[in-house]
A and B are shown apart, each in its own frame.
Chain A
């Protein structure tokens, strides 16, 4: 072989290499759905999220840029060490291009940091901590659905206006609970209420009696539950046994999904107000999605599962538009887009990774009002996107300071 041919061959190989880097890595787009499939949040995310992701891929046509799309799933058991080990293996060995759901803040923080270090996108729909896009924001971490600030803003105002001005918190003792309690107490203070105390419980927990008794004797008229999933349903059920929530003290769930309403039953839960980002019975589009979803999964979709569907859909759109599944390029593309689908309406992605969208104040229906098995709540107010999330001007995210 002459020198020229070798040079040509090398040039061709290099070109092929660069072309490859811009296209789809490994000739397949792999999306990892990670959540606590066996823990207290299983009903919120769990298998339902995987179903939603698969539906999104099928609705997209199963292929992007002519390459197949594959969904992987794993149970992180709500432990950040397991979550980050799974994420590491997914990225190193499987070549996963995007990780979604997460649903436990401590896990989400660990996975987001690790994935960004390795150039992989994370779209978190399940976890709530504002730290994800605030103090601990990363260039490739996206917070797609609700966060604890949005939850607090939505619920604190109407409760305080109705006279509930002395708040006591029962808080799950990890990133999410801390974040929720902090956000809520700030909002309560700003709205003219008073924070009289807080107690923290291990996560996950079963016996809430000692915390409830403390809350009962605190002199508060609002007992706010800064926890989620089965922890919340357990607290509410046990509160019922102590007669809490019927007298002068009222219970406020800061994070409630319809799966919890369902498991509590309307008799127990009626009148409960909470903030959420989506409800299955909002319009024809959501009902159509729900109908298809319920053919595969024996429960109506939660807002988290709907968000997973939307996140996967928008991600695939961005991959198509960017012409690659390379993390940075897709993130840049997502930043240019406006999200419109059955979950989001005119939602935008900010430089800190926060997707801003409307939130809704919901109220659980009474058993009389409910017409069918999953007819559980009604939307009573809309919190507009610009009010629902921490404004960029108050952000502690270093990425924001750089750009301003």
Chain B
């Protein structure tokens, strides 16, 4: 990603809490990080996980519990949550990457439902009531996070770190291998890459960063609830990534902003929001399949007179069925 984009991003991030409601922007950032982490897997490795809420939610519960009950300092609590997501990612990844395409998605969904059930039945999560009243505490012992602005800049720092890490991974040789796997897995294998290992590492990285987002969200809202581990949240993150532009670095962020804003703007309509978001998704799939950012990039490319890139959906499709055949 070029330097200008970074400068714009950081500048927007610094100014945002003075223009918008800080808690809302923090929510945007948490979901943006979640979607970017998810995109690392779907967009760059070509793996569709349908259970990412498990990492997001488990990290939220772990962070909330460690801060509230064990009295961990805030930053350590967030790390605990992230670590839990990472371990969960190793377990899920080990089991799920043995299968491909729709089977991979189903395995991740099934595992995530187990996590949901555990969250529902365990006493420490508070079941349907959620884990309430997580104290925000003090950062490094002296910055009071109950102040919205302090909390905001802390969240912004976490987001920028996560985002930078993802951008770095994507641009690295490791990222190139991931893309190779996405485009043509048998060929990557024939070139001597240990495809399963690369996939597992990508899966764990994605899970860990999703966990970072979930843990941060738990601290922002002082709350972890079943919504965080619900399959609907797994679906939401797929939606965010697709609306924004799968396989683009800023796409998931734009997608997350769009979906979260839609939810917040239309909250007065109650359950109709789901219908509207659904329609948005259908329109997106029918009209601009590359997502918002994907289409914009395409437009720029065309204006500059460069050849168009193949549609990501078309590129990803054969890969899903090849192994089974």
Contact = CB atoms under 8 A, between A and B. Distances in A.
B79 to A, nearest CB: 23
A74 B268 contact: yes
A37 interface: yes
A109 B129 contact: yes
Contacts of B271: 38, 77
Contact of A93 (B21, B27, B132): B21
Interface in B91-124: none
Interface string B240-283: 00000000000000000000000000011011000000000000
Find the residue from A38, A81, A84, A92 having the highest chain B CB count within 10 A: A81
B23 interface: yes
Contact of A174 (B21, B24, B127, B267): B127
Contacts of B129: 80, 105-106, 109-110, 174-175
B95 to A, nearest CB: 27
Interface string A76-115: 0101111011101100110000000000011001100110
B270 A85 contact: no
A81 B21 contact: no
A328 to B, nearest CB: 18
B225 A81 contact: yes
A173 B126 CA distance: 11
A173 B128 contact: yes
Interface string A362-400: 000000000000000000000000000000000000000
Interface in B141-193: 148
A203 interface: yes
A110 B21 contact: no
B128 A38 contact: no
A80 B268 contact: no
Contacts of B130: 80-81, 106, 110
B24 A89 contact: yes
A32 to B, nearest CB: 13
A24 B128 CA distance: 37
A157 B132 CA distance: 35
Given A88-B23, A175-B128, A175-B129, A81 B221 contact: yes
A232 to B, nearest CB: 17
B227 interface: yes
Contacts of B127: 173-174
Contacts of A203: 128
Nearest to A175: B129
B71 interface: no
Contacts of A202: 128
A106 B227 CA distance: 13
B132 A74 contact: no
Interface in B202-230: 221-223, 225, 227-228
A75 interface: yes
Nearest to B23: A88
B235 interface: no
Contacts of A110: 129-130, 132-133, 223
Interface in A65-80: 74-75, 77, 79-80
A79 B225 contact: yes
A117 to B, nearest CB: 8
A36 to B, nearest CB: 9
Contact of B270 (A37, A81, A109): A37
A38 B223 CA distance: 23
Contacts of A113: 132-133
B262 to A, nearest CB: 15
B270 A84 contact: no
Contacts of B270: 37-38, 75, 77
Contacts of A88: 23, 221
Contacts of B21: 89, 92-93
Contacts of A175: 128-129
Nearest to B146: A117
Given A38-B271, A75-B267, A174 B128 contact: yes
A92 B268 CA distance: 18
Interface of A: 37-38, 74-75, 77, 79-82, 84-86, 88-89, 92-93, 105-106, 109-110, 113-114, 173-175, 202-203
Given A81-B130, A84-B223, A92-B23, 13 more contacts: A75-B268, A80-B129, A80-B130, A81-B225, A85-B221, A92-B148, A93-B21, A106-B130, A109-B129, A110-B133, A113-B133, A174-B127, A174-B129
Interface of B: 21, 23-24, 27, 127-130, 132-133, 148, 221-223, 225, 227-228, 267-268, 270-271
29 contacts: A37-B270, A38-B270, A74-B268, A75-B270, A80-B129, A80-B132, A80-B225, A81-B221, A81-B223, A81-B227, A81-B228, A84-B222, A85-B23, A85-B27, A85-B221, A86-B267, A89-B23, A89-B24, A92-B148, A106-B128, A106-B130, A109-B129, A113-B132, A113-B133, A173-B127, A173-B128, A174-B128, A175-B128, A202-B128
Closest CB pairs A-B (n = 3)? A174-B128, A38-B270, A106-B129
